[in-house]
Amino acid sequence: MNSHFVFKYSVIWESVPILLEGVKLTIWITLFGLLIGFTLGAVAGLAKASRKNYAKRIAGIYIESIRGTPLMVQVLFLYFGLPLATGMRIPPLVAGIIAIGLNSGAYIAEIVRGAIQSIDKGQTEAGRSIGLSRFQTMLFVIWPQAFKRMIPPLGNQFIISLKDTSLLVVIGVGELTRQGQEIIATNFRAFEVWLTVAIIYLVLTMTIAKLLNMFERKMQIV
Amino acid sequence: MIRINNLHKSFGSLEVLKGVDLHITPGEVVVVIGPSGSGKSTLLRCINCLEEITSGTIIVDGFDVTDEKTDLNYVRAETGMVFQLFNLFPHMTVLDNVTLGPIKVRNMPRKEAKKLGMELLEKVGLSDKAMVYPDNLSGGQKQRVAIARSLALKPKSILFDEPTSALDPELIGEVLDVMKRLAHEGMTMVVVTHEMGFAAEVADRVLFMDEGVIMEENTPQAMFDNPKNERTRNFLALV
């Protein structure tokens, strides 16, 4: 151990208020990103579980291209690359939300597809046999059952996406990681600050896990 | 009521139905027997449009199900189906299982549907289970709910696909009782089953299916006492 190193508690207390500003942004990006992600994922997942070949193919291309490339590259492309071609500059925050949304959407699509396909075929047949249309069968019979099964993996994705927001540091979004970086730029206390940042992430993810656990129990998933 | 002409159905290269002709008149109770893999279930599933047929025609209640203009959802609602594994909706109460069809398909007001649902549950002897979820029912109770669910659409006929095959022996009777009552009330029924006692008691006609065709058909008495076909004889000797 470096004998000159002295742990300074005061650094933690000084940086927490600033870091909390970043936490706010981290949470907002995660929530809005996942809102987009869930919408995209539900549509792409339903398309992949559908019988329509063209829908399957389009959804497949989306899912594969997102899952097959790093989030960092997706963020850089959206923020630095795309404006050069379109001539339209997107604010970093918006680019960040879109990136998290697009990215989580691909993973959520697979969660949705898997959950839908895990529901017994007899359920669809029973629904159709009482005269429900394909759409009604999905809406009233399959989706409610599939949704229950989606909750645990969706919770997992929630946690992953929250941590992924730290990558947005590369386009200068003032979320938690960025705030930490900026504090260190002024006081050089990397050990205390990154430790604090890590603990805050841990508290956030553990809180989500706890909330999900309660929700799952309420939905009676065993 | 149901008229089938030269029905063929293949799954890939496997031909399951090899030319079935069948005419079922209103109020008739037809029992279909035969070894597994003979195409009995597939026949029912074709009548209920759960399988796309390969060739031939099926006319249900005046509607040609192979005609693209036919509203298959409507035809399905007019023909009830009871499955071997019940296929109740596990996320809904027993009453909601029964009222889903009337509310969503027949656009019946919720209150009226509830009343109808309770009447039907009464009829199958399960009015005390209305608010229970299917997981808490025995197999026999589940199947009786499934029958009530299909009755809720006031179908013109009901297809039973081995309704008692998944039940413990002591639970079979309660389901057959409900089916017998339906038969006596004049419901048109096509029943795939291995319950020969049921066939003998309520069937107007028994069909013996094997290798994708109807090998023999007759009244239950003639079929069971004096089967003409060699295969029928062998099959009946085994069950």
Tens digits of per-residue pLDDT, A127-138?
A: 999 999 999 999
Residue B229, CA distances (Å) to A53, A88, B40, B210, B232 in order: 47, 80, 18, 11, 5
Q: Assess B136–A contact: CB distance below 8 Å, yes or no.
A: no
> Where are the alpha helices (H) located in A119-218, listed in sequence order?
121-129, 134-136, 143-164, 176-187, 190-218
A127 contacts in chain B (CB < 8 Å): 89
Interface of A with B in 118-157 (CB under 8 A): 120, 122-123, 125-133, 136, 140-141, 144-145, 148
Give the tens place of pLDDT for each residue, B7-34: 999 999 999 999 999 999 999 999 999 9
Q: Is B88 on the interface with A (CB under 8 A)?
A: yes
The answer, for B104 touching chain A at a CB cutoff of 8 Å, is yes
Decide if A149 contacts A115 (C-beta within 8 A).
yes
Q: Do B87 and A123 touch (CB under 8 A)?
A: yes
Q: How many CB atoms lie within 10 A of CB B30?
A: 23
Measured CA to CA in angstroms, residue A163 lies from A3, A177, A200, A201, A202 at distances of 33, 10, 11, 7, 9
Distances (CA, A) of A155 to A40, A111, A208, A220, B185: 17, 11, 8, 15, 52
| Residue B93: CB atoms within 10 Å | 16
pLDDT, mean over chain B: 95
CA atoms within 13 A on the CB side of B26: 4
Best residue of B49, B51, B73, B158 to probe chain A, by most A CBs closer than 10 Å: B73
* DSSP per-residue letters across A164-192: HGGGGGGGT--SHHHHHHHHHHHH--HHH
Which residue among B49, B90, B105 places its CB closest to the CB of A130? Answer: B105
User: pLDDT, tens digit, for every residue of B188-210?
Assistant: 999 999 999 999 999 999 999 99
Interface of B with A in 110-129 (CB under 8 A): none
Instruction: Select from A118, A116, A130, A123 the least CA-distant residue to B134.
Output: A123
CB contact B89 to A (< 8 Å): yes
Q: How far apart are CA B145 and CA B128, in angstroms?
A: 12
In angstroms, the CA A47 to CA A4 distance is 60
Chain B residues inside the 8 Å CB shell of A141:
89
**ipTM (interface predicted TM):** 0.93
Contact state of A133 with B100 under an 8 Å Cβ cutoff: no
Q: What is the least distance, in Å, from the CA of B73 to any CA of chain A?
A: 5
A196: left (phi over 0), alpha (psi -120 to 50) or beta: alpha
CB B127 within 8 A of CB B121: yes
Tell me, what's the pLDDT at A66?
97
- DSSP 3-state of B217: strand
Whole-model pTM? Answer: 0.90
* Under 8 Å between Cβ of B50 and A123: no
B31 and B191 Cβ atoms separated by less than 8 Å: yes
| Axis-axis angle for helices A9-49, A92-118 (nearest 10) | 50
DSSP lists the bridge partners of residue B189 as B29, B158
Can you tell me the distance from the alpha carbon of B165 to that of B194, in angstroms, rounded to the nearest whole number?
Answer: 8
B83–A131 CB contact, under 8 Å: no
Residue B114 in contact with residue B175, Cβ under 8 Å?
no
Distance from CA of B159 to the nearest CA of A (A): 10
pLDDT in tens, B128-177: 999 999 999 999 999 999 999 999 999 999 999 999 999 999 999 999 99
- Closest Cβ opposite residue B73 in set A122, A133, A141: A133
- What's the pLDDT at A216? 87
Chain B contacts of A222, Cβ < 8 Å? none
Look at A131 and B101 and tell me if their CB atoms are within 8 Å: yes
Contacts of B73 in chain A (CB under 8 A): 128, 131-133
Best of B48, B70, B85, B89 to substitute, by most chain A Cβ atoms within 10 angstroms, is B89
B41-80 confidence digits (pLDDT tens): 999 999 999 999 999 999 998 999 888 899 999 999 999 9
Across the interface, do A125 and B87 touch by the CB < 8 Å criterion? yes
Render the burial of A107-121: b for 16+ CB within 10 Å, e for the rest. bbbbbbbbbbeebee
Residue with tokens 């949705």: A112
Give the Å distances, CA to CA, from B132 to B96, B97, B122, B123, B140: 10, 11, 14, 17, 15
Contact between A125 and B105 using a beta-carbon 8 Å cutoff: no
Tell me if B1 sits within 8 A of B61, measured CB to CB. Answer: yes
pLDDT string in tens for chain A (222-residue length): 677 889 989 989 999 999 999 999 999 999 999 999 999 999 999 999 998 999 999 999 999 999 999 999 999 999 999 999 999 899 999 999 999 999 999 999 999 999 999 999 999 999 999 999 999 999 999 999 999 999 999 999 999 999 999 999 999 999 999 999 999 999 999 999 999 999 999 999 999 999 999 988 888 754
Q: What is the largest CA-CA distance in chain B?
A: 55
Q: Does the beta-carbon distance from B90 to A136 stay under 8 Å?
A: no
Distance from CA of A121 to the nearest CA of B (A): 9
- What is the pLDDT, as a whole number, of residue A1? 66
Q: Note which residues in 142-171 of chain B have CB less than 8 A from chain A.
A: 146, 149-150, 152-153
| Interface contact flag, B89 A123, Cβ < 8 Å | yes
